[in-house]
Each structure stands twice: as structure tokens, then as C-alpha cells.
Amino acid sequence: MRDEWIERLARLFEEHPAWVAAAGRLSPDAASAVFFRHRPGEVWHLEQAAVGSRLLPGAARDPDLVFRFTPRSVERLEAVTGGIGEFAVALFALMTEGDPEARVDFRIAADFSRLARRGYLSLLLAAGPGVLAFGAAHGIRTLGALRRFAAGLRRDPEPWER
């Protein structure tokens, strides 16, 4: 069944220059589970493509990250201009958004060492000073603080993942 919001998010992952550049920094094994608030019970996944990432129906084989998007969060992400750093700050801001209709729910499925091996730490560094400033504003100023933060986001599946 066609869905405007799923199609719009898929286009961002496949075509937006910042998203394509970000995907190019990740290992070919990197994958994420994706859910949509307006489509409960449906499971999607992101996998690396030759250029960018593909959003596909079905469960990820071994996801590193888990996201749940809303239509409003997709709209807000579509409005992002700039590079990897601007995209990363916008995504992190949506993860901390107070309005559930705009928030991107997020958790980490992989351990810290797998995230490092699959390129997520180098992606954060490539995102630049805006991401570092955003992290510092949220108490993440060192690699140890980032590791503790990531460990806090590793938890049992949320109800929206079942």
C-alpha cells in the first residue's frame, strides 16, 4: 500500500545530498529498523545502497539503530538544508522534541564497539562542530560521556517495535 510519508522519507535517504554523504561514511553492513507512528505494526528497515540508503519493507537482519518517524518529523527533515552536520543536528533535535507528533523516537540496538566498527563515530566527527555543540548542550562532552549516553539508549524493545 502506498504511503506518502514513507515515500517522502525514502526519497530523503536515497537523494538528499547530506543523507547520501552520511551513508557513504557507514559500513555496508550498517542497518536500521524503522517504524512509523501512523502505521503501527509495520516494520521497515534502512540498508546501505551503492549511493545513499534504501528504505525497504520488513525487518532489518541485524539493526544498529531503531527509529520511529511521524509525518511531522518527515516534514521537518525535508526542510533541512546544508550538509551532514545540519542534518545530524536536526535529527538529534527531533529526538529530543517534546511534541510527540514531531518527535523521532530512537534507541540503539548495537553495542558501542559495533557502532564504532560500522562508522557511526566517524560520521559524528564528520558532522562537525554543530553536532559537538549540540552534544555539549546535552551533557555529552567526552567520548566516555558518549559511550554512557549510548549505553543508556540500549534497552529492551519499545512497544512500537513489537
pLDDT in tens, 121-147: 899 889 888 888 888 888 888 878 877
153 vs 104, more confident = 104
The answer to the question of residue 160 being in a domain is no
The answer to the question of residue 162 being in a domain is no
CA triplet 86, 89, 92: central angle to 5 degrees?
Answer: 150
21-30, 43-52, 134-143: lowest mean pLDDT where? 134-143
1-5, 49-53, 70-74, 140-144: lowest mean pLDDT where? 140-144
Output the domain CATH number for residue 36: 3.30.1050
What mean pLDDT, rounded, does the chain reach? 89
The answer to the question of residue 60 being in a domain is yes
The answer to the question of residue 65 being in a domain is yes
Domain that holds residue 105: 4-155
The answer to the question of residue 102 being in a domain is yes
Q: In the chain, how many domains are there?
A: 1
**Cβ count within 10 A of residue 111:** 14
Residue 79 has pLDDT above 90, yes or no: yes
Region 42-47: mean pLDDT is: 94
Whole-number Å distance between alpha carbons of 94 and 72:
10
Residue 102 has pLDDT above 80, yes or no: yes
Nearest residue to 16 via CA among 84, 113, 73, 75: 84
The predicted structure's pLDDT at residue 3? 95
158 vs 35, more confident = 35
What is the SS3 assignment for the chain?
Answer: CCCHHHHHHHHHHHHCHHHHHHHHCCCCCCEEEEEECCCCCCCEEEEECCCCEEEEECCCCCCCEEEEECHHHHHHHHCCCCCHHHHHHHHHHHHCCCCCCCCCEEEECCCHHHHHHCCHHHHHHHHCHHHHHHHHHCCCCCHHHHHHHHHHHCCCCCHHHC
The answer to the question of residue 161 being in a domain is no
The answer to the question of residue 92 being in a domain is yes
On whether the pTM is more than 0.75, the answer is yes
